[in-house]
């Protein structure tokens, strides 16, 4: 059964991407890092610039995109909409400050180094979103998820994620039209926020209806299949509405999170995400040309210096945001909790690369910043952990 895409090399790429993702993921966790970092490293190792087992082929990209859509659906499914409203004001302040500082700093530095405005926008945007997955996992491991600090961090990370996806939709629109006209940006913002609001508002009753219809069925795989179909169709709607498919998948997840079958859906979804999401991170890693990371080569140095600068900006911008919280809380801990980037930052970066808005060297610089901020967080959070939480409770597991 040959249909344009050669199935042999595709099987090899898919199989070895999965092997690499699991091996490097396990190694990353062994040294106290999130598995996603290992998956990115696996991509670098398996990609064309080293082993060449995972080519940058159509088939790999298609499955990687399916993977990231399913991943954002899962993140949405684990996002509590009422949580967003409850943590309220301080979380919002932290989230806003944590977007403005890194975006402004990243934009200014990139422009100062002579890159064009579109590139600078992508760089700034890639630094805005805290990784909710990584944050939640680290907080849970430290047993501080239920503290006031933990709740503010989580709330801010959720707001951050939603705003990040809105920024993503705007930025990808700008990249497609190639222009920076405020009217276009404003229209994109209205579309992106509008689509998200409509999708969630319409998705909640639709999701309830869906679960009521398919919930009692005992056809094998009915609930999970219906939920994934729902996510794919909302993702398709997002693309039709000039937003991003992952925004749609996230909205579909948040809508289904409010049904009484949320946990069953999540349970059916996890094994699927476990297989396909790593393919996204491996394919992102595979786009890194390691030769560009060698500081011995003179022409690499500007990008590496940019990466160092972005790391400092990315770190300080989020850390400072923590001090915008109020109440009897350890603000340094909140700031540290906002530092890790991860999925959304990587999505921005690879979107920028695919749309030719980010030159490859700048893409590498952004990856350096995403990696470094994520690497530095777990030990820092351990160090700054608020005293009340020194007797870790058996953590109401998150994520």
Site for its own copies, rule CB under 8 A:
1-5, 7-8, 10-12, 14-16, 18-19, 21-22, 25-26, 29, 35, 58-59, 61-63, 65-66, 69, 214, 217, 219-222, 224-226, 228-233, 235-236, 239-240, 245, 268-275, 278, 350-351, 354-355
Single out the residue of 267, 224, 246, 255 nearest to residue 351, CA to CA.
246
Q: Which is nearer to its own copies, 225 or 379 (CB)?
A: 225
Q: Which is nearer to its own copies, 106 or 245 (CB)?
A: 245
Tokens read off for 121 = 């926008």
Cα four-point dihedral sign 67, 138, 369, 109: positive
Distances (CA, A) of 189 to 121, 243, 356: 15, 9, 22
Least Cβ distance, residue 45 to its own copies (angstroms) = 15
CB of 353 to its own copies, least distance (A): 9
Query: Based on CB atoms, which residue is closest to its own copies, 66 or 200?
Result: 66
Helix (H, G, I), strand (E, B) or coil at 337: helix
Q: CB of residue 136 vs its own copies: minimum separation in angstroms?
A: 13
Residue number with CB closer to its own copies (5 or 197): 5
End-to-end CA distance of the chain: 39
Nearest residue (CB) to its own copies, 5 versus 186: 5
**φ/ψ (deg, to 5) at 3:** -140, 65
Task: Sort 50 into a burial class: Cβ within 10 Å, 0-12 / 13-18 / 19+.
Answer: middle
Task: Work out how close the CB of 15 gets to its own copies at its nearest, in angstroms, rounded to a whole number.
Answer: 3
Taking the C-alpha atoms of residue 231 and residue 165, their distance in angstroms, rounded to an integer, is: 16
Q: How far is the CB of 323 from its own copies (least distance, A)?
A: 34
Taking the least distance from each CB to its own copies, the nearer of 17 and 325 is 17
In angstroms, give the least distance from the CB of 68 to its own copies: 9
Provide the CA 236 distance to its chain's centre, in angstroms: 19
Q: Which is nearer to its own copies, 168 or 334 (CB)?
A: 168
- Using left for φ > 0, alpha for ψ between -120 and 50, and beta otherwise, residue 221 falls in left
- Give the residue ranges of DSSP H helices in the chain: 7-30, 35-46, 58-77, 81-112, 117-126, 132-142, 148-177, 182-214, 222-240, 245-256, 262-286, 301-321, 331-337, 343-354, 360-384
User: Judged by CB, which is closer to its own copies: 87, or 210?
Assistant: 210
CB of 372 to its own copies, least distance (A): 23
C-beta of 65: minimal distance to its own copies in Å?
A: 6
What tokens does 108 get?
């200014």
Q: Check: CB of residue 151 under 8 Å from CB of residue 366.
A: no
* Backbone angles phi and psi of 5, in degrees to 5: -85, 125
Decide whether 3 or 387 has the Cβ nearer to its own copies: 3
* Least Å from the CB of residue 58 to its own copies: 4
């Amino acid at each position: 059964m040959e249909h344009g895409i050669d199935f042999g090399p595709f099987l090899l790429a898919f199989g070895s991407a999965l092997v690499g993702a699991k091996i490097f993921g396990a190694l990353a966790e062994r040294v106290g890092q999130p598995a996603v970092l290992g998956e990115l490293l696996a991509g670098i190792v398996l990609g064309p610039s080293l082993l060449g087992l995972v080519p940058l082929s159509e088939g790999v990209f298609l499955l990687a995109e399916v993977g990231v859509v399913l991943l954002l659906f899962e993140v949405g499914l684990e996002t509590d909409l009422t949580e967003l409203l409850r943590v309220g004001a301080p979380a919002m302040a932290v989230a806003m400050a944590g977007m403005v500082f890194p975006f402004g700093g990243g934009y200014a530095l990139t422009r100062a180094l002579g890159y064009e405005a579109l590139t600078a926008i992508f760089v700034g945007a890639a630094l805005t979103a805290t990784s909710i997955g990584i944050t939640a996992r680290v907080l849970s491991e430290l047993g501080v998820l239920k503290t006031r600090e933990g709740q503010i961090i989580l709330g801010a990370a959720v707001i951050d994620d939603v705003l990040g996806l809105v920024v993503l939709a705007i930025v990808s629109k700008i990249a497609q039209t190639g222009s920076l006209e405020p009217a276009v940006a404003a229209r994109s913002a209205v579309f992106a926020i509008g689509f998200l609001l409509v999708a969630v508002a319409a998705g909640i009753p639709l999701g309830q209806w869906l679960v009521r219809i398919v919930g009692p069925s005992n056809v094998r795989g009915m609930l999970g299949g219906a939920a994934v179909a729902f996510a794919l169709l909302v993702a398709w709607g997002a693309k039709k509405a000039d937003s991003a498919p992952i925004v749609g998948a996230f909205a579909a997840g948040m809508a289904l999170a409010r049904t009484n079958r949320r946990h069953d859906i999540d349970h059916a979804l996890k094994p699927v995400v476990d297989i396909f999401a790593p393919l996204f991170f491996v394919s992102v890693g595979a786009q890194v040309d390691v030769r560009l990371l060698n500081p011995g080569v003179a022409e690499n140095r500007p990008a590496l210096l940019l990466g160092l600068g972005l790391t400092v900006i990315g770190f300080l911008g989020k850390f400072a945001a923590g001090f915008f919280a109020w109440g009897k809380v350890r603000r340094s801990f909140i700031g540290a909790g906002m530092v890790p980037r991860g999925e959304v930052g990587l999505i921005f970066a690879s979107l920028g690369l695919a749309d030719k808005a980010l030159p490859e060297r700048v893409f590498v610089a952004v990856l350096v910043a995403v990696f470094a901020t994520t690497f530095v967080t777990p030990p820092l959070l351990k160090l700054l952990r608020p005293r009340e939480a020194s007797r870790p409770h058996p953590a109401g597991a998150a994520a």
